[in-house]
Amino acid sequence: MQTQTWAFALASVLAAAACGGDSGDVPGGGDGDGEVATLSITGTVVDFSTGEALAGSATVSTDGLSPPPTISVTGASFQIEGIPPYSNFHLLAGSPPDYRSTYSVIVETAESNQTGLEFAALSEDFVDSLYATFGVTAAAGTSLVVAKLVDDQGAALAGVKSSAFALEIGMEGPFFLDADRQPDAALTESSASGYVVVFQVVPGLVNLVAAEDAGVSLSMADSPVAARAATLAEIVVSDGAIVVPTNVSFSQDVSPIFEARGCVLCHSGAGIGKDLGGVHFNGESQKMYKELVEEISANHGTVRVDLENPANSLVLTMPSKEDPPDEHPNVTFLSNTDPDYLLILGWIQEGALNN
């Protein structure tokens, strides 16, 4: 089995995912009758340039969770409650008119509450300086992405050249911020801060990728873009192209993914996925295989793997972020470069064998 190093931490194996079992081991509690407990996050909205908490009252919402969680905000501080375990989502935080609404770097949860997090917002003055320094005139209905280039350990990466990026038609960039995270039009590669800026990004989802001859791969979570907003992201830079794994075993490689990523927790017992998606997992490899390869999805009228078009398989598309979103209530795979996504894709490409 081949795997790709990934800076985003993978979820650990569930401590409590028994069908109908007591959910008291899951942080946040539960009523002891099998109800899946939800998580909470507390944090502060800070200025991207200074790292200081916003002086005004922040606005905070989420993207990628359905139904939306409960959010309370006091000044620049906030608390979010009602987050399903093993969810990946984005915050949208700002403080008009001084701070632009800014989508955060992907937020990853496992089965624990998180406290004291910081989420940055771009000030309108800083956004104006980006457009002015790089000589870009904002096109109507577009936005900008500010992404941090990091290595496999999550450290800021200098020396990534502009030629490493393959931007979509209409985008302008890439441009780079200096070591102090300020715009510098003279830079042709990333500085010690690792930050890159791309303009004229249309609303929807964005995922910056590497040029074919770049000699590196860029792995970024699918991230939301909205007009008159800004998007922050993190891009893992690795040597060589992204490779789909081969010789993938369902029992050894694929089945454990559904445990580790919370799928069993959601699709068994009192998990909402058992009713919404009609997928019934119980932690047994053979049961999972039958649900994916043999059982027909009542919602979609097909099995959940597509041997003719593997990337179109429901097991891959439903837990992925889409625009507009499908009926899956949360996002599991960060993008089509997520290592677990690639493992499942490789397994399907090899025939979705019960091996």
pTM to 2 decimal places? 0.84
pLDDT of amino acid 275 = 63
Please say whether the beta carbons of 155 and 207 come within 8 A.
no
For tokens 């979820």, the residue is: 11
Higher pLDDT, 11 or 249: 249
pLDDT in tens, 292-335: 898 888 788 888 999 999 999 999 998 888 787 777 777 788 88
Question: To which CATH superfamily is domain 39-121 assigned?
Answer: Carboxypeptidase-like, regulatory domain (2.60.40.1120)
Please state the domain extents for the chain: 39-121, 124-239, 250-349
pLDDT interval class at 50 (50, 70, 90): very high
Confidence of residue 349 (pLDDT cuts 50, 70, 90): very high
- Which residue bears the tokens 């053979």? 286
Per residue in 51-73, pLDDT (tens digit) is: 999 999 999 999 998 889 999 99
Q: Are 93 and 119 in contact (CB under 8 A)?
A: yes
Contacts of 201 (CB under 8 A, 6+ apart): 142, 143, 144, 145, 171, 225, 231
Domains 39-121 and 124-239 share a fold: yes
Runs of H (alpha helix) within the chain: 124-133, 255-260, 263-266, 273-276, 285-289, 314-317, 339-349
Q: Each residue of 175-229: pLDDT tens digit?
A: 999 999 999 999 999 999 999 999 999 999 999 999 999 999 999 999 999 999 9
124-239 fold: Immunoglobulin-like (2.60.40)
Q: For residues 320 and 202, give the distance between their C-alpha atoms in angstroms, rounded to a whole number.
A: 20
